[in-house]
């Protein structure tokens, strides 16, 4: 057997092994989530600017809580048969309709845990250090953002304290909502958002 043939016999399996390792590492890195990204922070800024403008709030009149909301695992009443129960958290159907199945699954995957919002990334929106447990008026707590594969559509859920602190009789008000955003020509904009006050 010639030297070049022996070298090929050794190098081909080594090259295949290195390529397989590179693909495996790439897939693992793709699924490894280090928390909210700079793009997510930009989307939060666009959404919160619109939310505040609709309420005629100035930039200093509201804040974003530093931790995200977490999706709840499904809980069932005792009368629901075991066959009809599932451990799986399903994405909201409106999210699937707006940005697709993969986007809605991305939303669910990211929100099965609470995340810290790092303000270390330079964005147009300044994160406040308000704690969600002390949800003051005009403090908004958000979920992580679900993106479609092309990052042209995004969805998130939010909640905020809409109580009127200035009234003599204190009232409790909680706003729950969902936001739908589009990216056009590289710029994010709010397509729509819906909310209810409880």
How high is the pLDDT of residue 26?
54
Classify residue 67 by its DSSP letter: B
Task: Determine how β-strand 153-161 pairs with β-strand 139-142.
Answer: antiparallel
How high is the pLDDT of residue 64?
81
- Tens place of pLDDT for every residue, the chain, 198 residues? 565 676 667 677 766 777 777 666 555 545 567 778 889 989 998 999 899 899 888 877 777 888 899 887 555 455 555 555 445 567 789 999 999 999 999 999 999 889 987 654 445 555 554 554 454 567 889 999 999 999 999 999 999 877 666 666 666 778 899 999 999 999 999 999 998 887
How high is the pLDDT of residue 32?
63
User: Tokens at residue 81, please?
Assistant: 């048969």
How high is the pLDDT of residue 34?
78
CB count within 10 Å of CB 32 equals 7
Q: What is the pTM of this model?
A: 0.72
Q: d(Cα 90, Cα 68) in Å, to the nearest integer?
A: 18
């Amino acid at each position: 057997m010639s030297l070049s043939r022996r070298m090929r016999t050794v190098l081909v399996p080594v090259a295949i092994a290195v390529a397989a390792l590179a693909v495996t590492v790439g897939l693992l890195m793709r699924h490894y989530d280090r928390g909210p990204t700079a793009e997510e922070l930009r989307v939060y800024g666009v959404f919160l600017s619109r939310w505040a403008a609709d309420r005629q709030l100035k930039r200093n009149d509201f804040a974003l809580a530093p931790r995200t909301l977490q999706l709840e695992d499904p809980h069932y009443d005792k009368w629901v048969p075991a066959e009809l129960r599932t451990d799986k958290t399903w994405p909201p159907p409106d999210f699937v309709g707006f940005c697709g199945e993969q986007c809605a699954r991305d939303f669910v995957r990211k929100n099965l845990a609470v995340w810290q919002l790092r303000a270390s990334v330079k964005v147009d929106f300044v994160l406040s250090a308000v704690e969600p447990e002390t949800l003051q008026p005009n403090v908004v707590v958000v979920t992580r953002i679900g993106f479609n594969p092309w990052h042209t559509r995004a969805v998130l859920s939010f909640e905020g304290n809409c109580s009127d602190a200035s009234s003599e009789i204190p009232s409790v008000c909680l706003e729950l909502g969902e936001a739908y955003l589009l990216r056009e020509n590289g710029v994010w904009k709010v397509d729509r958002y819906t909310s209810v006050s409880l």
